Structure 1
Amino acid sequence: MTSSFSLGQVLDLKPIAREIRPKAPQSTQEQYHPTLWQCTVVAATLKILLLPAYKSTDFEVHRNWLAITHSLPPWEWYYERTSEWTLDYPPYFAAFEWLLSQLAALIDSDMVDTNNLNYSSWPTIAFQRASVIVSELLLFAALYFFVASTPFGARKQSHAVALSILLSPGFLIIDHIHFQYNSMMYGILIFSIALARTDSGLLSSGILFAVLLCFKHIYLYLAPAYFVYLLRAYCLSRNNVFRPHILNCIKLGVSVLAVFGAAFGPFAYWGQLDQLMSRLFPFSRGLCHAYWAPNMWAIYSFVDRLLILVAPYLKLSIDPGALHSVTRGLVGDTSFAVLPNISPKLCFSLTLAFHIQALTTLWLKPTWETFVGALTLCGYASFLFGWHVHEKAVLLIIIPFSLIALKDRSYLASFRPLAVAGYISLFPLLFTAQEYPIKTAYTIGWLILFLYVFDRLAPAPSRQRVFLLDRFALLYNAISVPLIIYCSLVHQVLFRDKYEFLPLMFTSTYCAVGVITSWIGFMVCYLSS
């Protein structure tokens, strides 16, 4: 390509790195970066030891996707339904599975047979686990770049943040035991966010985010913040919004259209866009996931359960058909016995309202820190008020928030309950006795280490600080200990196989309180900064 804005030139990071990398003594730079390497090696060693660990149905989901993409031509990928775990990720992730399947077929050809449902030979387990470990190198590269792009005076804080993300209990639980590829995709997100620090990196940032959307569409929750920031900081003059940069608009528009055209163009040509969209957006699912995500609807569901108990005394009407709806652990089966039912339209309206609040501030103050704050608030709003939210989506809040958690102690005070609630809310994903010590010890160790380090590194805020959230966090963290003990040990001793949903309800409700409190605290920081 000879165009002045070819993709090769757009993604050339050398001029960007020269602009954002501050001059510092070589010995100082070497002080931080090798630690990322060392922690990556140690973490990878631990994850190799976890190859035989528990694996969820997601393991079979991705094995089946290997088989689909290897055995069938692309125009049949989104129609194949031999397994109940049909392909429901965007085309770039399907292409990623296709690349993996070429190697998988050489290791164990039965692994890529669509008729071998629930196939899990040892070579299959080792290959799929190893593919997650290797793909996580993209996260390491992104964090390395994030540290390198940080102004020298804040390098120590960014290094601590990078280590906290690299060693996140969320990635260990979700990717390396439960089984997914989130760390790789959050690597793309962090690369994109880091590139957005400078004017010369904005175009590359937008392109990488478009690529990310073609890998996993859950990142659409963050798209409004990207749209507003790129429009305000790249397409329009920062000092005069009525002076558009025409060439920048063309560059960004053509580049993003090229990314989406490469992903979805072939399926449009085959007349399959409706089928593809029906796989990506199955709106028939209910309000709550089988295990309630710790959001507003978990609190709403919990209150509904309590009202059932007092309804006879308060003379409240009860819907008999909904008495067990939200506690049966079934997808697409959410209705409330006392409280009014929630519609998708209401979820969308609430999410949009809180998005607009964050985006208005970003429009008025288009700085990098405000952009990351808007990403975090978009993650909060979508997680707290969205329709059929998965508990794993809490990483959409934790990861962007981590990047600015050390801005000052007010931000850190909001981050603490989020970290505790977000990671504890993932515990029910691993319900076997063998993995209980691993998830508990690793998460508690992470929380003690990094919240202590963060506390030492976070500067005092420039404005007057309210300490109420600190006191809440102390009490909230203390309650987590008996909660974990009850849900993991005491409940089984007292009730055995009865009331199986009770520990899940307690965990989800407790964690929802932490996430909501964190959200309120962060909104105060964001809107007053």
Structure 2
Amino acid sequence: MLNVLVVSSIVKLLLVRAYRSTDFEVHRNWLAITYSLPISEWYYEKTSEWTLDYPPFFAWFERCLATFAPLADEKMLQVDNLNYASENTVLFQRLTVIVSELVLYWAILRYRRSFGSKYVHWVIAGSIFLHPGFLIYNGFLYGILLHSIVEMKKRRYLLSGFLFAALLNFKHIYLYMAPAYFVYLLKAYCFQPIPTPTENGHADRQAYANVSRFSLANFVKLGATVAAVFAISLGPFVYMGQIPQLLSRLFPFTRGLCHAYWAPNFWALYAGADRVLIIIGKRLGWSLNQDALGSMTRGFVGDTKFAVLPQVDAIHTLIITVIAQLIPLQLLWRKPTFNNFLTSLVLCGFASFLFGWHVHEKAILLILIPYSLMAANTKAHLRIFIILSASGIYSLFPLLFHSAETPIKTIFTLTWFLIVLPSLARTLHTPLRAVLHPLEYLYLVGLVVLQLYTDVLHTVIFGTGKLEFLPLMMISIYTALGVCYGWVRLMVGYLNGTI
């Protein structure tokens, strides 16, 4: 695995000057806030539009990084120095990403040892660490998630729960996965199996599914572990009476249903359908919501309205998400195996991504990374993995929007696919061409055509600066079809017992 680390580091070092993600200024500002201001002002500061909106553990992580920032350029730590991007500042942020991702590297090393040292696990581990999504987003927090999953595999339930609770206090988006953790830890750790005597007098440990008893001691230990993590994280803000302010930053429900660039989920399809119905409605003389005619294509946050279809409120998304999560969770409760936990974990993330309120496009990695662990389980898993990876990774392309970045993201992604997919197919003893249905291959070809249109043909047809949101809308809708398709196939296969 050392060669994977070396390749990843070299690629990222070569790209230091090549591109900059949209989160660069966000984290520069957070470095400045946590370094220059007392903790009592962290979640009130609003000089920049990129206010601190991550939980306290991540704020402290930024504070730790900021300790070393003056060695590079102290000006980056000035709160009012907006959009500051000196060469040393860029280099500092690049290097801290590479160093922090050693947590992910350590996690995949432990994954290989825990899941076996077979070729397939080497491929999966390498595919995760070199995932194209990590060209845009830091893999540090996914390292903590994988550490927690490894501990769950080893049946070290308390340590797994501890790590996941810590992860929630680094980034609350992982709440998407919390229901799967809750159900599995409750059933696997807090309900102890009662061995059933067999004819020869020995205990049959496989018969615990229907014979178990609740362990109050384990429940208390688990609850105390999780509570301790949250107490350490939130305690200072409880003392200062800032919990309402903290929660308002973490859960900004005043924002609209869709992010400025629509995440490839169900609501992208819903919004796209509304755009089509507007065109039909105008021709047929329908009564339309005039306030909504431009709201969904201006890309404004908090400006989500529909002209034809019913309006969607936060409570509606919550109800749909909970229902979609309860479906796999009931099976996990009845059959609390590690494989079912991993599948339910992915499906819980899926439900929140597809139906949640104001979902960010980067949340697709919450599905793609853990699902990678199951990619080579069966041909059906690999089939879903290909469609999900293609649509999910491509949905992130608009975040690197400069023309000079197109060769970088395209070449790296194609190289990743050309190495990973044949390797996974080989482990299943099946040719890659036999994995997908012809219509699924057609969908993949459509991604190539879409890339050609958004990069070249749109400007040729409409000119520069016209219908700028149309390419983004097309990418969101088309990739949403692939993501939703993957969810349906995984859900049906899981419930039928074929996956």
TM-score norm. by structure 1 comes to 0.88
Question: Aligned to 1:144, which of 109, 117, 132?
Answer: 109
Q: Partner letter of residue 473 of structure 2?
A: M
For 1:270-293, what per-residue CA distance to the aligned partner results, in whole angstroms no more than 9, with x for missing partners? 111111111111100001111111
Structure 1 stretch 53-62 or stretch 378-387: which is displaced more? 53-62
Q: Tell me, yes or no, if structure 1 residue 235 matches structure 2 residue 203.
A: no
Name the residue aligned to 1:33: none
Task: Give the corresponding residue for 2:148.
Answer: 192
State which of 44, 48, 52 in structure 1 corresponds to 2:9. 44
* Correspondence 1:338-353 to 2 at 5 A: 338-353=308-323
Contact 1:469 1:521 in 2 (8 A): no
What is the CA RMSD across the aligned residues, in angstroms? 1.5
Measure the CA separation in 1 of the matches of 2:440 and 2:422.
13
Residue 101 of structure 1 corresponds to 66
Cα deviation 1:237-274 (Å, max 9, x = unaligned): 24257612233222211111111110001110111111
Of 172, 177, 180, which aligns to 1:217? Answer: 172
Per-residue CA deviation, residues 109-140 of structure 1 (Å, 9 max, x unaligned), is: 21111121111111111101110011011111
Tell me if 1:120 matches 2:81: no
Residue 485, structure 1, aligned to residue 485, structure 2: no
Percent identity, please.
Answer: 52
Determine the structure 2 residue equivalent to 1:159: 122
SS at match of 1:237: strand
For the 8 Å contact 2:180–2:345, the answer to whether it is kept is yes
SS in 2 for 1:143: helix
Which of 245, 267, 286 aligns to 1:297? It is 267
Query: Which amino acid in structure 1 is aligned with residue 230 of structure 2?
Result: F
Shift of 1:358: 1.0
Instruction: Say whether the 8 Å CA contact 1:66–1:101 is kept in structure 2.
Output: yes
Q: Which amino acid aligns with 2:300?
A: L
Determine the C-alpha separation between the residues in 2 that align with 1:95 and 1:458. Answer: 44
Farther off after superposition, 318-327 or 141-150: 318-327
In 1, Cα distance between equivalents of 2:124 and 2:442: 25
Aligned partner of residue 373 in structure 2, secondary structure: helix
Pair 1:424-2:394 in alignment: yes
Ranges in structure 1 where 5+ consecutive residues have no aligned partner: 1-35, 176-180, 461-466
Residues 1:168 and 2:168 are matched in the alignment: no
- AA aligned opposite 1:191: H
Structure 1: which amino acid aligns with 2:384?
S
Partner residue, 1:522? 490
Which residue pairs with 2:469 in the alignment? 501
> Which residue, 35, 44, 66 being the options, matches 1:70?
35
Deviations 1:452-471 (A, max 9, x none): 222222368xxxxxx99633
What is the DSSP-based 3-state SS (H/G/I as helix, E as strand, rest coil) of the residue aligned with 1:389?
coil
User: Relative to structure 1, is the Cα distance of residues 49 and 527 closer, same or farther in structure 2, using a 3 angstrom cutoff?
Assistant: same
Once the 2 structures are TM-superposed, how far is the Cα of residue 54 of structure 1 from its aligned partner? 2.7
Secondary structure of the residue aligned to 2:446 is helix
Q: CA deviation at 1:321?
A: 1.7
Task: Say how many residue pairs are matched.
Answer: 478
Deviates more, 1:214-223 or 1:237-246: 237-246
Aligned to 2:198: none
Q: CA contact under 8 A between 2:133 and 2:365: conserved in structure 1?
A: yes
Separation of aligned partners in 1, 2:141 and 2:354: 22
Contact residue 76 and residue 89 of structure 2 kept, 8 A: yes
Task: Give 1:208's aligned residue.
Answer: 163
Contact 1:355–1:378 (Cα < 8 Å) also in 2: yes
The 10-residue stretch of structure 1 (51-60 or 183-192) with the greater mean CA deviation from structure 2: 51-60
Query: Paired residue for 2:201?
Result: none
Would you say the 8 A contact 1:421–1:511 is kept in 2?
Answer: yes
Q: Which runs of 5+ in 2 are unaligned?
A: 194-207
* Counterpart amino acid of residue 418 in structure 1: L
User: 1:389 — aligned with what?
Assistant: 359
Q: Distance in 2 between matches of 1:427 and 1:158?
A: 27
- 1:358, 1:401 → 2: CA distance? 15
Does the C-alpha gap of structure 1 residues 221 and 85 become closer, same or farther in structure 2, counting only changes over 3 Å? same
For 2:414 and 2:22, how far apart are their aligned partners in 1? 26
- Large movers: runs of 4+ above 4 Å: none
Deviation at 1:141, TM superposition (A): 0.4
Tell me the distance in 1 between the aligned counterparts of 2:76 and 2:147: 33
Measured against aligned partners, the alpha-carbon deviations of 1:464-484 in whole angstroms (never above 9, x if no partner) come to xxx996333211111111111
How far off its partner does 1:448 sit?
Answer: 2.5
Q: 5 Å matches for 1:385-464?
A: 385-458=355-428
2-side partners of 1:386 and 1:469: how far apart?
A: 29
Q: Which amino acid aligns with 2:161?
A: G
- Structure 1 equivalent of residue 199 of structure 2: none
The Cα shift of 1:341 comes to 1.2
* Displacement of 1:147: 0.5
Q: Give the Å deviation of 1:315.
A: 4.5
What letter matches 2:28 in structure 1?
A: R
Contact 2:383 2:435 in 1 (8 A): no
Q: Secondary structure at the match of 2:115?
A: coil
Distance 1:486 1:470 in 2: 25
Which residue is 1:26 aligned to? none
Match of 1:29 in 2: none
Secondary structure at the aligned position of 1:435 is classed as: helix
Q: Find the aligned partners of 2:311 and 2:212 in 1 and give their Cα distance.
A: 45
Where does residue 131 of structure 1 map in the other structure?
A: 96
Q: How far 1:82 moved relative to its partner?
A: 1.9
Q: 1 CA distance for matches of 2:286 and 2:116?
A: 60
**In the alignment, structure 1 residue 475 sits paired with structure 2 residue 442:** yes
What's the counterpart of residue 14 of structure 1? none
Find out whether 1:226 has 2:181 as its counterpart. Answer: yes
Q: Which moved more, 1:326-335 or 1:519-528?
A: 519-528
Does structure 2 conserve the Cα–Cα contact (< 8 Å) formed by 1:412 and 1:458? no
Q: Could you tell me how far apart the structure 2 residues matched to 1:316 and 1:193 are?
A: 52
Q: Which amino acid aligns with 1:185?
A: L
